[in-house]
Structure formats: C-alpha cells, structure tokens
Structure 1
Amino acid sequence: MEKQLKQIVISDPKVMMGKPVIAGTRITVELILEKLAAGEIWEQIIEAHPRLNREAIQAALAFAAQALRADVIYPIIEAAS
C-alpha cells in the first residue's frame, strides 16, 4: 500500500505550496479530511470533485494516519469554560 500511496498522494513545492495533494489534481489531503470531518460521505466528496475516486480518498486517509505515526507531541488546547 505504501508504494501505491506514494503514487496517489504527492507533494510538489510548485503545487499548492507543497501540501500533499492527490496526483494530477490540486485537491489537498487537508481538504478531503476537512470534508470527512464535517460529515460528508465519500460519494458527496466525489460528486463535488469528480477527479477524485474512492481510492484517492482512502489514500488521503492512509497518508494522514501515516503522518500521525511520527514521534511528535500534538498539544490539545482545551476550550475555556
């Protein structure tokens, strides 16, 4: 899957300031994750962005999961009461 992932999700400094995008598009992994977090289902995302497919959305999720495996601490700021 990792080899396939690298063919689907790419990063090029000349495209979207180097943010990870779906190959052949300017659709960022970030956008896909935001849409999923907002409750959109993959069919809605594909309808809004016909250059995507289910495999691309799964690759974006796999990329994000892989990126979070890094040995980094992500502070969570609690909302003030």
Structure 2
Amino acid sequence: MNQQVIHRDPEIYSGATVFVGTRVPLSFMFDYLKAGESIATFIDHYPSVSRDAAIAALEIAGKLADDHAYLV
C-alpha cells in the first residue's frame, strides 16, 4: 500500500497519530492488540478504519522497530 494510512495533525485528537480520514488514534489499535483482541475486533469497533489500513500501520510499526533496533 503506497498511500499514507496514518498521520498527525495538531487539530485532530490533540496531535495524536491517527488513521487518515478518521479521528481514531493508532494507539487504540495497539491497546486492542495488547489486550489480546484481534484486528477484526478492533475494526468491528472502529469501522472507519479499513483492514488494509490497520495492516499497513502494523507494517509501518514493524519497519520502524527494525530501523531503530539496537543490540543490547
């Protein structure tokens, strides 16, 4: 997916990172996942977020984690 799926805007949800075209913070998806819920459950509760956008956001997070991983 080449289009932007997340962004930050100081006028939207106090500048939190949200899914493009929504007011749904990215952190909400991670809260669901941390609680053991599925992406499908998250999308059921936030239908303005598409499955493709949720998966793309996870891919972005994974890439950022890889890019900033350090051996300890």
Length-normalised TM-score, structure 2: 0.76
1:25 to 1:70, Cα distance in 2 relative to 1, 3 A: same
Inter-partner Cα distance in structure 2 for 1:62 and 1:8: 11
| % identical equivalent positions | 32
Could you say which structure has the larger radius of gyration? 1
Inter-partner Cα distance in structure 2 for 1:11 and 1:63: 14
**Candidates 46, 49, 56, aligned match of 1:49:** 46
Inter-partner Cα distance in structure 2 for 1:35 and 1:58: 14
Question: Aligned ranges for residues 1-20 of structure 1 at < 5 Å?
Answer: 1=1, 3-4=2-3, 7-20=4-17
Aligned to 1:59: 56
Please state if 1:38 is matched with 2:39: no
Q: Deviations over 1:35-68 (max 9, x none)?
A: 0111111111111111112111112212323443
Length-normalised TM-score, structure 1: 0.69
SS in 2 for 1:39: coil
In structure 2, the gaps of 5 or more residues are: none
Q: Deviations over 1:22-42 (max 9, x none)?
A: 011111111111101111111
Query: 1:10·1:22 contact (CA, 8 Å) conserved in 2?
Result: yes
